[in-house]
Chain A
Amino acid sequence: MSSGILRYGAYVPHWRLRREAIGATLGSSAGRGTRSVASYDEDTTTLAVEAARIALHGWSGPVDEVLLATTSPAYQDKTNATAVAAALNLGSDLFSGDVVGAVRSGVAAFRSGAATEGTSLVTTADIRTGRPGSADEASGGDAAAAFLLGEGEVLAEQLASVSRSAEFLDRWRVPGATHSQVWEERFGENQYVPLAVEALSAALERAGVGVDDLDRVAVGGLHTRANAAFARRAGVARPQLSGLGAQVGNAGAAQAWLELADWLDSASPGAVAAVVVLADGVDVLVVRATEALTRNRSPRPIARQLAATRDDLSYATFLTWRGMLEREAPRRPSPDRPAAPPSERAVAWKFGFTASTCECGQRHLPPQQVCVTCGAVDRMRPESLRENRGHVATFTVDHLAYSLSPPTLSCIVDLDGGGRFASELTDADVDQLAVGTRVEMTFRRLWTTDGVHNYFWKGRPVAELGEDH
């Protein structure tokens, strides 16, 4: 038995912003390509849940730990990984914790998870932007990746791990600030590149492979210029690098792990990759794919997710979603904040989408004590329906409901195998609303009132991802 990656999955949001759209609005050049954009109802916690759902697809073994790494946690003081664990119905018999704040948090979580006894679900998620017109805005990206680490039939094994720590000022953000600050980039480049070249060399020596043997070098870190210079200096050829940046952008603490997941989506058994993260030092991880990879690949490869995304998000919408453009709200009161005690009582429903199913077969969403069909009292069993699909029974476009992105698309979803759910439809166009449209569930942040995030499930149209379901 060896330790390594048992399962993995990644999630790229439905929306992308063309960098040209930024330039067109601001009258400047913001480069070409696109960046991924978390929707108005997503945050790093919901991104992590989506990636983790993909990673755990078909996994029936235990999960002993859930870690969430991000530079932009949905909450401070309160742990966010508990919501991820609750959304995955993992119960309470596990550890859950956040590793937050720095770009390097992703590495910290991965290292911690790899050292854990039992299985560890390491999720990395980030939402990155900057001031309008900034390089961070154009080059940032929003995405998540999740890895289940542990012993057993691993799909990738760790060959070497090398870290170098360095204290210097390249990028920083004081708590509460919405944007990073950076020193002159030539300084950071000068610090990072030699350190990274040396660390990679040391790691490869330990792994017993050469640079040319690497099928992929997954580079993370927000210093774009240093990342490129490192690759050149280390002798990494262009085909060994991922092309994700042009479409997704740089998803901060999640980026290297997203690229690792992208490699795993198509790597052959025996192939070797290096993860290199340039963030306040350098971390290098060398992994080799095993025969098990062919059986346990992500059911939603990143390339297919990207093919189903939309790249025509308007810049004004992007700014609105990120809270940088305050728009007039409908003349309706903002929704109540969810109250703590009812949310706790309903945690299996609210976070885990767990219905109650009567002995007679009737499903109830939300869970009920008394069966609406046979009238039996307390003859229910819990049944999580988050991975169930359904179809639209009827629908509407609500121009009156409170929303950060009106109008709200709402529908009645009839779930396969029974049960009905009045749902918002997200990541959808009006023309996808029709009786019979296929729908799957997604974990979202419905709204935030008084600083309380209201997490719950919405429907989204089933994209043609070509997976087995």
Chain B
Amino acid sequence: MASRGIKDQVAIVGMGCTPFGERWDASLADMLVDAATQAYTSAGVTKDEVDAYWLGTMNSGWSGMTLATALKTDFRPVTRVENFCATGSEAFRNACYAVASGAYDMAMAIGGEKLKDTGYSGLVRANPAHDGTTSTMGGPARFSLLVPAYADKYGVSRDELRRVMTRIAWKNHYNGARNPLAAFRSEVSPETIEASPKIAGDLGIYDCSGVSDGAAAAIIVRAEDAYRYTDHPIFVKALAFVAGSGRGSLDQSYDYTTFEECARSAQDAYAQAGVINPREEISMAEVHDCFTPTEMVLMEDLGFSEPGQAWRDVLDGAFDLDGVVPINTDGGLKSFGHPIGASGLRMMYECWLQLRGEAPAERQIELTGRGYGMTHNLGGMPGECVSFVSIVGRDLG
């Protein structure tokens, strides 16, 4: 299987991100226009210069018309994509390929989601007609399955894992408290986290990402054109995407302590970018902290911790703002909520800020390693999911 990647062929030259939260004030169209307008301004371009659009939204609108009619994209091609929780990242990946292919000079990847208008807690999705035999387990329940399995496999007590989950929630809210765009902008004490009502298994409310609205956008050009728009473009080093076969849901060999899809997409991305030791070379990563145990397990799948060691690394502060690999420096899904189509691009927006040194001082990290940032999404559930990993960098080469 070939996965050659497009290292250093395209660059991001402008980005925009709306405030996330309960946006009772804004429709999806309003938020898409806001994010797109910010991105045009950021890149110093006009709408006329963008040749094509990729829109990511999972459930808030159908077809490219959702964007075309909101933004009046003037007969430009708009492709609407959906790939579960990686929807925003999928819009980005395909826009990058379109530019790298030479088909277009400038493309916009944009994602948005309106979750708060449904009137329900959690995600709501319309399913195709079915036979009624699919498990009713919701997202929190599915991901909570990781906890007893991890405890059992590595001989870590569930009380100890509770401390790990608390640490992750505390860290991400600490970071989010330093982000004006986040939906939840307060620090949360470990006591509050542990006292929150249970949602599924060992997961309390503070172990779950919130439900919110938001949109984000990126403008992509060929790498050789990048410095025409900004002195500090962000170059795409790797784009990896994996869709699992569902083996984990069918076969007993899967033990619910890892995401094979995430490990494989990370390996692919590291190969594309030429990363040998991710813990040393990746300066920061925005990972899919849909639930706190997810982030713990991801540290192992993405190669930041040895198998069975992530829980220790979390407690040691390895992933704090001043840790070995700062994770979710913007506050993550924990602080932003998870408007599906927007999240992947919201993560990229944090890489854009951090790698350009534009994050607010109180959360700006010192760029160690190769100055690489990573974004990661997974969509689905343990055992059968899609996974996306991107690596971006400040410099060519």
Residues of chain A having any CB pair with chain B under 8 Å: 330-333, 335-339, 341-343, 345-346, 349-350, 362-366, 368, 372-373, 393-403, 408, 410, 412, 414, 418-420, 422-424, 434-435, 446, 454-456
Contact = CB atoms under 8 A, between A and B. Distances in A.
Contacts of B256: 393-394, 412
B135 A342 contact: no
Contacts of B129: 336, 339, 341-342
Interface stretch (B91-99, B118-126, B225-233, B336-344): B118-126
A398 B121 contact: no
Contacts of A368: 250
A346 B199 contact: no
B52 interface: no
B250 A398 contact: no
Interface of B: 119-122, 124, 127, 129-133, 135-138, 140-142, 144-146, 148-149, 152, 197-201, 245-247, 249-252, 254-256
Contacts of A330: 121
Nearest to A340: B129
Contacts of A365: 250
B256 to A, nearest CB: 5
Nearest to A332: B120
Contact of B135 (A341, A410, A435): A410
Given A398-B141, A422-B137, A350 B120 contact: no
Helix, strand, loop or mixed for chain B's interface?
Answer: loop
A446 B137 CA distance: 13
Contacts of B140: 398, 400
Residue among A333, A420, A424 with max Cβ neighbours from chain B (10 Å): A420
Given A338-B131, A408-B136, A434-B148, 15 more contacts: A332-B138, A342-B129, A365-B250, A372-B247, A372-B251, A393-B252, A394-B145, A395-B201, A408-B137, A410-B137, A420-B251, A420-B254, A423-B135, A435-B149, A435-B152
14 contacts: A331-B119, A333-B120, A338-B131, A339-B130, A341-B129, A342-B130, A363-B250, A393-B255, A395-B148, A395-B201, A397-B200, A397-B201, A410-B137, A420-B252
Nearest to B140: A400
B272 to A, nearest CB: 26
A350 B252 contact: no
Contact of A396 (B137, B152, B245, B254): B137
Contact of A424 (B136, B251, B252): B136
Q: What are the 6 closest A-B residue pairs judged by CB atoms, nearest first?
A: A338-B132, A339-B129, A396-B201, A398-B141, A422-B135, A454-B132
Contacts of B127: 336
A446 B133 CA distance: 9
Given A372-B247, A398-B140, A435-B152, A418 B252 contact: yes
Contacts of B130: 336, 338-339, 342
A350 B249 CA distance: 17
B148 A401 contact: no
Contacts of A434: 148
B132 A398 contact: no
Contact of B199 (A337, A350, A399, A422): A399
Contact of A420 (B137, B142, B250): B250
A410 B252 contact: no
Given A339-B131, A342-B130, A398-B137, A331 B120 contact: yes
